[in-house]
Structure 1
């Protein structure tokens, strides 16, 4: 009986593997303009294989072609979160955002913060971590030249190069840490309902502050309640929205 159970489990796993959606099948469906089928296949891949910037990007393209702008924005945002340095993802996200009703103007920030954010978003968390490791190895090589070099100029090159590589390695690891933090503590969300009234308090009797439409990005400020979330727009405005009206990036 035990052997039979093991055989059945193996057979089920085999058939699941055989019938699992592949990226090639999903890509073919997309190329043949069978967008609903492509959406189904891409979502199956995400469910079985986990998150992927490429799959989210292709899924966003499929939703965009299928004229579901809110879900297109959601999946482009998810792709960008995993691969913030990808220009194609950013371009398509901007294109989808331009088709949403609410055109929010972001609040001004200090220019140094803009530069820092642009630097952090040049690469993904894994890419920054790899750069940090390479730079630390170069620092160790520089230290070897400085300690064991027989000539003054070799020691100088080792010292200066080592210090620079160490400083850059620290910066790379800080960028990787920030990217990892954004992946773990996700606060971005997309409005998924056609029209949503943002309330002054977390209940139906609250005053309507303003109205948002599907595809608009918000940031969750208060996540302590199950049915309601306090959200902030990119322009700084805040209010309460029902949890069912948004989907986390």
Structure 2
């Protein structure tokens, strides 16, 4: 019985993969022919099959860009970058898309560590850092075994020193991986989809308006109450926005 269930699962996954591939080809053909709305529908069908990829979100962003839909364009480019932070096509397209957004939000000056984290450590996702951890674990183990079973004093000293250095690097990489995981898990980002919206100082419609945001603005979600979400901008400004006017990625 278990073998039958396993076989059915394999067949189902295979069919799903074939459907996703055929939908992707069909959607790309619609995109090339200028049928952007229809292409978006096909791409979103693939998304419902849980067959997501950086390329899928890139194409969704491109299709929305062709329709001058700023919010969805930036939203899908950001989703693509989350899956593949090194995708240069997405990065370049995102720069063009951000120029369409009306809000010019300047970031608060970063510390040296924050700059190092953004420019270097965040180039890899926490999944990719986890692979680096595994590699360093194997390297440390091999070097230690070479030290333990070695006979020549000179070689033993070399193996001991390199295994110790590798172990220190392993601890450092584990720390980075844990830090990247926590950031990915706890940092909730979103894109404003409303054409224009008022950000208020409290989660009520009769509260004071503190500033205005437009479609395509990127925000960090800090809290949620009923149908309101507390947001923070890159320049440090905070306020409350109606939940339906943003979309988290």
Q: TM-score scaled by structure 2? A: 0.86
Counterpart position of 1:206: 207
In structure 2, the CA distance between the partners of 1:66 and 1:179, relative to structure 1 (3 Å rule), is farther
Instruction: Note if contact 1:142-1:157 (Cα within 8 Å) is conserved in structure 2.
Output: no
What is the Cα deviation at residue 36 of structure 1? 1.4
Q: Secondary structure at the match of 2:182?
A: helix
Counterpart position of 1:237: 237
User: What are the equivalent positions in structure 2 for 1:39-118 lying under 5 Å apart?
Assistant: 39-118=40-119
What is the Cα deviation at residue 60 of structure 1? 1.0
In structure 2, the CA distance between the partners of 1:18 and 1:139, relative to structure 1 (3 Å rule), is closer
| Residues 86-118 of structure 1: CA deviation (Å, up to 9, x unaligned) | 222222212211110001110011112210233
In structure 2, the CA distance between the partners of 1:37 and 1:179, relative to structure 1 (3 Å rule), is farther
Q: Aligned partners of 2:109, 2:16: CA distance in 1, in Å?
A: 54
What is the Cα deviation at residue 61 of structure 1? 1.4
Q: TM-score scaled by structure 1? A: 0.86
Instruction: Note if contact 2:20-2:49 (Cα within 8 Å) is conserved in structure 1.
Output: no
Q: Aligned partners of 1:161, 1:192: CA distance in 2, in Å?
A: 53
Q: Secondary structure at the match of 2:123?
A: coil
Instruction: Note if contact 1:128-1:176 (Cα within 8 Å) is conserved in structure 2.
Output: yes
Report the number of matched residues: 238
Bigger Cα displacement from structure 2, 132-141 vs 113-122: 113-122
Q: Aligned partners of 1:43, 1:240: CA distance in 2, in Å?
A: 30
Instruction: Note if contact 2:30-2:36 (Cα within 8 Å) is conserved in structure 1.
Output: yes
RMSD: 2.5
What is the Cα deviation at residue 216 of structure 1? 0.1
Q: Aligned partners of 2:19, 2:226: CA distance in 1, in Å?
A: 39
Counterpart position of 1:162: 163
State yes or no: 1:172 paired with 2:173. yes
In structure 2, the CA distance between the partners of 1:183 and 1:24, relative to structure 1 (3 Å rule), is farther
Q: Secondary structure at the match of 1:49?
A: coil
